Structures are given as C-alpha cells and as structure tokens.
Amino acid sequence: MILSIILALSLFLRVGLLNQVPPELFGDEIDVGYQARSLLQTGRDLYGQILPTYIHSLSEWRAPLLMYATVPTITAFGDSVWGVRLPEVIFGTLGPLILFLLVYQVSKSWKLGVLASLTMATMPWHIYYSRSAFEVVIMLDLIMLGTLLFLKRRFEFCVLSFALAMYSYSTAILFVPLWFVSLHLLSKTKPKIISVLLFVIIVAPLAYQIAAGPARGRFGGLNIFNQQELIRNINDLRQEDNSFTSPLWHNKLEAGASVIMANYLRAFSTDFLFIRGDPTYRHSIQIVGELLTISFPFVLLGLWYLGSKRQWLWLSWLFLAPIPAALTADGGYHATRLFLVIPPLAVATGAGLLLVIRKLPKFLNLLLLLLFTVYFIWLSHYYVVHYAKSSWRWWQVGFEQSMRQLDKLSPQYSRVFINNTYEPSLIRFLFWTSYSPGKFQRQFTVDQPKDNIVPNYNGFSLDGKYFFGNFNKSNWTEFLLPNSLYLISQRDNVAGDWDWRRTPPSNIRVLFTSTNAYDEPILYLVTKK
C-alpha cells in the first residue's frame, strides 16, 4: 500500500503540467525527438547511419538508447512535448520502485527501503531530470536494476542491464566497469565467463566507436587533460619558473590531478548538494541544492549509520560515482554527469530519517512530516510558477511558436531565412515543422556557413529554399529580398530594445512575434513590404 502511494506520488510529480514546466523543449531534447522520428521513418540517424550504435547529431555524437526508447512515444504523440519527454517520465517514476527493491535486497529492511524510495521520489535533482529528455534517468534505472540482478545472482540479465546502461549516457562507460568489478569484490563472487563474454559482445560496437570510430572526438573534447585552459596555466607556470626542473613540477599529470581532485571534492560540497546546486539553470532552480536543504542533517546521520552497519555497497557506490564526472572540465558541479550519486544519497537520507523517527515521539514525527510537506509545497510553487517563467532563456522559449507559424507561412514565399545566431536553428526547424527525415538526409550537405550565400547573408541552405545564418550588414533591413520570409531575433537583429510589434521599420511588415512569459519579444517573422 505504502509503496503504491510512493509510486503514485512519483508519477504525479513528474507528469503534472509536463507541457508547461519546463516551459519548452531545449536543443538536446529536440535532437532526441527528431532522431527518434528519423529512426522510426528511415531506420537511420540524421546522417544516414543504419540502426546506429552511436548517433551522429548535428553538433556532436550521442549515446543512442534514449532515442530508440523515444520511438514509441513519438509514434503515439507526434513531434510534441509529450512525445519527447514521456519516456523519461516513465523511467523517472519507476526509479524509486527499483531503489526500494535494491535496498530491501541489501538490508532486508522494508522501512529503510520505503524511506529511501520516498526520498528519491521527492528529490529535486531526480524530479527535474525526469521531466526532461535527459539520458541519465534511464541510465540510472538500468544500473540500479543491474545491481539488483547481480545480488540475486541473475548474472546474464545483470550484464545485459549494465551493457544497455553504457549505451544510454557517457558517464556509464567508465562507471559500469568500475562498479561491476566492485560488486564482485564486495560479494567475493568470481565473474562468470559466459556473463563476461556476453557483456563484451554487447558493448563491442560501442567500444569501437569510442576507441577508433568518429565518436572518440566527443570524449577527447571532454577529457580534462585536453582542456586549453589547463595547458595555458601550465605554460604560464613554466614561464614563471624557467629552471630546467620546471617540467617536473608543472605538467599535465600534476595539473590534471589537481583539477580532478577539486572536481571530485566539489561534488560533495554543501553548495552543490544543499544550497544552490548546479549553476546551470536547466539543472537546478538555484534557490535550493540538488537535494532538499532540510535533508542535510539526515544525510550526515545516515552516512554514519551506513558505515556503522557496514553497508559497504552504498558507501562504495558513493565513492565511485563522482569519478567519471571529475575527469571532465566542469564535472565537479555538473548535475548531469553526477547523477549516479543519487542512489547512495537517497539511501543515506532514508537511513537518517529512520534513526530520527525511531527516537522521536509520535507527535514530533508528525511535526517533522508537516515541516517536510510545507517546505516541499513551497518549493513546488516556486518551480511551477516562478521557475517556469524566469528560466525561459535556458529552455530556449520562442522557437516552437515561431517555427510552427513559419511552417504555415513558408508556402507563400520562395525563400525563407532563419536566424542561426540566437540558438542553432536547424534542428528546431526540422522538429517543429515535422520536416521529413528521409528528405533531410537526401538534401543536407553541410551546416558550415558560407559567406554571401545570397547577397549580404552568410549561412547554409537546405533544399535551396531554407537558409540558416545571419546578415553580414549592420543595416540589413535595406537589403531584404522580395517574396522572402525572415525569422529574426530580437536580441541579435534589433538594435536596443525597440519592440517591432509596435514600431517596425517602415519597409518591414511583422507577421508574427513569439514572446516569453513576461510578454517580451523573442523572435519575429517579417517580410519586405
């Protein structure tokens, strides 16, 4: 009964007002949706790879599992918020249930399992990510499930779950092998040859993509040792210390190790976990940490409890989880790459709550429940009312309105020019206009801008009609072409804060204006009078 209530609560917190908060699909989500559409209709990704094991997006290479998982919902709900976000809502809802089963398997305490499950269900960190198309939610479910199956000695299914996790998000590529070895050491279980062989077979295509395939650049770019800032700092220090021993003290190994350690420790900082969270507005609402602020004493108490009860599985998980993120440039406060930290912190919070509940009289427990409830309601109000409005730029509000209107108007014009400086607009155009993936694969050549692709305009084209780029003249309004439709940015194309809804230039007709929640213009659709 209690578990059913938690599951219902988990679903409600993730599905309620889904098409309003967050306020719009941002670029990575749109990429997931359109790649799913492409896989559904052509069996290929945008660049024409057949049933890819690593997907080539327009700007990067991405793990494919979520895109495949989104195919059914895109089929059912079309190119929409529900079509893109519903898979992670489902995986996010199921996460607390999997955690309950795992905790019970480890501790045989249904009370601890219930409190850990409730903690995950109401954790801001997990809720935010479950309401958007972030790959880490399905990754976490698969790793928790794989761990549960390992403890139940269902090794073939265990390695399948772990292998699929590696196809969900890059963090798992390092964490899963570390965790798999740790589980064998903790349980003193010898790995089964058949399980290891199955694991190797499943991950072999992914391993090739990372080691020798085109996807290796993605990982090279994130690697802390390849960051230009790190290299510049080393060179500056060597110039200050120009002795022959300088390379011994100032090198990539020393500098990288310092950054990695700082990143690792930052993942456990009170600022990240309890006060502000990830500084990126998509990953945190900024008025609370990734965990509930009032959970701080319970986490500490729970960690002590887990240590005293020798719950090494959770402590080992907590120790290993930040390592993949620590190896990247901004990994110390990157909530996406640190998502694997959630289960042990949820269990620690649950353990701390359990200790307190056992010691307090019933009326104080009711008071504690009331405190958590009021605090959570206040936070939910801020998220639904205030965050939904103030975060508009981070969720790239305005493109859905503009692109849908552009789709209606474009048949009337011979050419359509789309601003590509405010945010990369090609993938948004493809998704919101439901542009045929097969047609796109045949037509698309390059997204590198070309100078004066048409007079006074730099960019690239699609189908000889759609142009993505920007004007190369400051007085661009004088060079508009007849019978052409233009999508322009208030920020990039309009000097100052001149609102073209009211006072457009004399030679321009404004056809449509997209706005944010404060009625401020974002994008205009215009044509020459």
Measured at the CA of 216, the angle between CA 213 and CA 222, to 5 degrees, comes to 170
Average per-residue pLDDT for the chain:
93
Give start and end residues of each alpha helix (H) in 410-511.
426-432, 437-443, 490-493
0.75 exceeded by the pTM? yes
Over residues 106-132, the pLDDT tens digits come to 999 999 999 999 999 999 999 999 999
The pLDDT assigned to 439 comes to 97
| 3-class secondary-structure state, position 461 | strand
The pLDDT assigned to 251 comes to 67
Residues 6+ apart with CB under 8 A from 478: 507
Q: Are 28 and 129 in contact (CB under 8 A)?
A: no
Query: What is the spatial distance between Cα 73 and Cα 70, in angstroms, rounded to a whole number?
Result: 5
Per-residue confidence at 239, pLDDT binned at 50, 70, 90? low
Taking 70 as the threshold, does the pLDDT of residue 241 lie above it?
no
Mean pLDDT over 60-72 rounds to 95
Q: Are 33 and 431 in contact (CB under 8 A)?
A: yes
Taking 80 as the threshold, does the pLDDT of residue 468 lie above it?
yes
Mean pLDDT over 405-431 rounds to 96
Taking 60 as the threshold, does the pLDDT of residue 352 lie above it?
yes
Taking 70 as the threshold, does the pLDDT of residue 237 lie above it?
no
Query: What is the spatial distance between Cα 116 and Cα 324, in angstroms, rounded to a whole number?
Result: 24
Measured at the CA of 124, the angle between CA 75 and CA 345, to 5 degrees, comes to 110
Query: What is the spatial distance between Cα 61 and Cα 220, in angstroms, rounded to a whole number?
Result: 12
Query: What is the spatial distance between Cα 406 and Cα 399, in angstroms, rounded to a whole number?
Result: 10
Question: Helix 136-151 vs helix 171-187: angle between axes, to the nearest 10 degrees?
Answer: 20
Taking 60 as the threshold, does the pLDDT of residue 434 lie above it?
yes
Which pairing describes strands 415-419 and 466-471: parallel, antiparallel, or unpaired?
parallel
Q: Report the Cα–Cα distance between both ends of the chain, in Å, rounded.
A: 66
Measured at the CA of 131, the angle between CA 46 and CA 167, to 5 degrees, comes to 45
Closest CA to 70 of 95, 104, 101, 34: 34
Closest CA to 138 of 126, 150, 124: 126
Q: Determine what percent of the chain is predicted with pLDDT higher than 90.
A: 83
Mean pLDDT over 360-377 rounds to 95
The pLDDT assigned to 224 comes to 67
CA separation, residue 274 to residues 223, 248, 261, 277 (Å): 28, 39, 21, 7
Element (H, E) at 27: helix 27-42
The pLDDT assigned to 101 comes to 98
Query: What is the spatial distance between Cα 500 and Cα 355, in angstroms, rounded to a whole number?
Result: 61
Over residues 303-320, the pLDDT tens digits come to 999 999 999 999 999 999
Query: What is the spatial distance between Cα 392 and Cα 382, in angstroms, rounded to a whole number?
Result: 14
Query: What is the spatial distance between Cα 521 and Cα 216, in angstroms, rounded to a whole number?
Result: 40
Over residues 471-527, the pLDDT tens digits come to 999 999 999 999 999 999 999 999 888 899 999 999 999 999 999 999 999 999 999
101-106: list long-range contacts, CB under 8 Å, 24+ apart: 101/148, 102/144, 102/147, 102/148, 102/151, 102/343, 103/347, 103/350, 105/148, 105/151, 105/152, 106/151, 106/311, 106/313, 106/314
Mean pLDDT over 88-93 rounds to 98
Number of C-beta neighbours around residue 74 at 10 A: 26
Query: What is the spatial distance between Cα 72 and Cα 89, in angstroms, rounded to a whole number?
Result: 14
The pLDDT assigned to 207 comes to 86
The pLDDT assigned to 313 comes to 97
Taking 60 as the threshold, does the pLDDT of residue 220 lie above it?
no
Taking 90 as the threshold, does the pLDDT of residue 190 lie above it?
no
Output the furthest CA–CA distance in the chain (Å, rounded): 79
Query: What is the spatial distance between Cα 131 and Cα 12, in angstroms, rounded to a whole number?
Result: 11
Query: What is the spatial distance between Cα 396 and Cα 24, in angstroms, rounded to a whole number?
Result: 7
* DSSP classification of residue 180: H
Q: Are 33 and 401 in contact (CB under 8 A)?
A: no
Mean pLDDT over 232-243 rounds to 66
Taking 80 as the threshold, does the pLDDT of residue 271 lie above it?
yes
Query: What is the spatial distance between Cα 158 and Cα 155, in angstroms, rounded to a whole number?
Result: 5
Query: What is the spatial distance between Cα 481 and Cα 451, in angstroms, rounded to a whole number?
Result: 17
The pLDDT assigned to 408 comes to 98
Residue 178 burial by CB count (10 A; 0-12/13-18/19+): exposed, middle or buried?
middle
Residues 6+ apart with CB under 8 A from 528: 480, 481, 482, 484, 507, 508, 509
| 3-class secondary-structure state, position 108 | coil
DSSP code per residue over 276-303: S--SSTTT--SSS-SS-GGGHHHHHHHH
CA separation, residue 55 to residues 42, 142, 261, 317 (Å): 14, 20, 32, 29
Closest CA to 225 of 257, 262, 203: 257
Closest CA to 377 of 258, 294, 284: 294
